Amino acid sequence: MWSASIDATSNAKRQLDRADGRTQKSMKLAIRQQTSGKADRTEPRWPAAIALLAAGGLRLALPKSLAVGPSWIVLAIVGALIVPTVWARRQNFHKLNTGLGYLLISLVTADMIWSLSLLLGAIPARTERPQDMLRSAAALWITNILVFASWYWRLDAGGPHARESRGVHIDGAFLFPQMTLDSQTKREMGEEAWSPGFVDYLFLAFAASAAFSPTDTPVLSQWAKVLMMVQALISFTTVALLAARAVNIL
């Protein structure tokens, strides 16, 4: 009787061990299915490169008095720096790629702020034609959107390389609508491995410049709030200039 009881206990233990093994295998399979494609998922960089080239191209619309050096200099520097940036990424030199990316955006940002300060200084002096001032303000307004979209894209959740390494975007400086969906809804929409791309940050920057505040995407982190306040301030300044010139009150 004792022998039968021991055998029954041993059999039950073996069955539990087999069940635990099957459970662990099922869990590992589920994890592999959820994370499949992460290594192959690559966030495209070309929209960010085009945005910076466009920002450099918009500088051509500024008169010489509102720019430092030749009108084409920023576009040429951006084009030249994009080449080693792309090379560093293809060679998996991620720190070099990130550093060159920061350098590119910082260069365009500094040039934009300098041109805006020159434009504001030209208002009371009336040294520029109204047409040139309106064209310059419009160019700087668009540049402002492109520049801050690049900053949001580069900084959010560690940058594009960190986001594509994680595969699924569940935490960051901005609460995108896709991040609030439950798992079933994500599966139905085919967004299980959703992660924001440059266009998402471009829309965010456009909304901040047009409405002076985010629309459907709350801002969570402090650095993002500071950047968005600076962007809204620049946008408000250029829009006020356009409106003032339009009614000829300056």
Q: How far is CA 215 from CA 59, 151, 198, in A?
A: 29, 18, 17
Q: Is residue 26 part of a domain?
A: no
The answer to whether 147 touches 109, Cβ cutoff 8 Å, is yes
pLDDT at 193 (0 to 100): 74
Q: Is residue 80 part of a domain?
A: yes
Question: How many CB atoms neighbour CB 198 within 10 A?
Answer: 22
Q: Is residue 180 part of a domain?
A: yes
The answer to whether 102 touches 81, Cβ cutoff 8 Å, is no
Q: What is the mean pLDDT of each run of 10 residues along the chain (250 residues)?
A: 48 52 45 43 86 94 86 92 92 91 94 89 73 85 95 90 79 83 75 83 92 80 92 87 63
Q: Is residue 212 part of a domain?
A: yes
The answer to whether 217 touches 204, Cβ cutoff 8 Å, is yes
pTM of the model: 0.78
Residue ranges making up the domain that contains 93: 43-246
Nearest to 155 by CA among 111, 114, 204, 193: 204
Report the number of distinct structural domains present in the chain: 1
Nearest to 201 by CA among 245, 161, 157: 157
The helix/strand/coil state of 219 is strand
- What secondary structure letter does DSSP report for 141? H
Q: Is residue 23 part of a domain?
A: no
pLDDT at 6 (0 to 100): 46
Rounded CA separation 77/79 (Å): 5
**Main-chain dihedrals φ then ψ at residue 227, nearest 5 degrees:** -60, -40
Q: Is residue 35 part of a domain?
A: no
Q: Is residue 14 part of a domain?
A: no
Q: Is residue 163 part of a domain?
A: yes
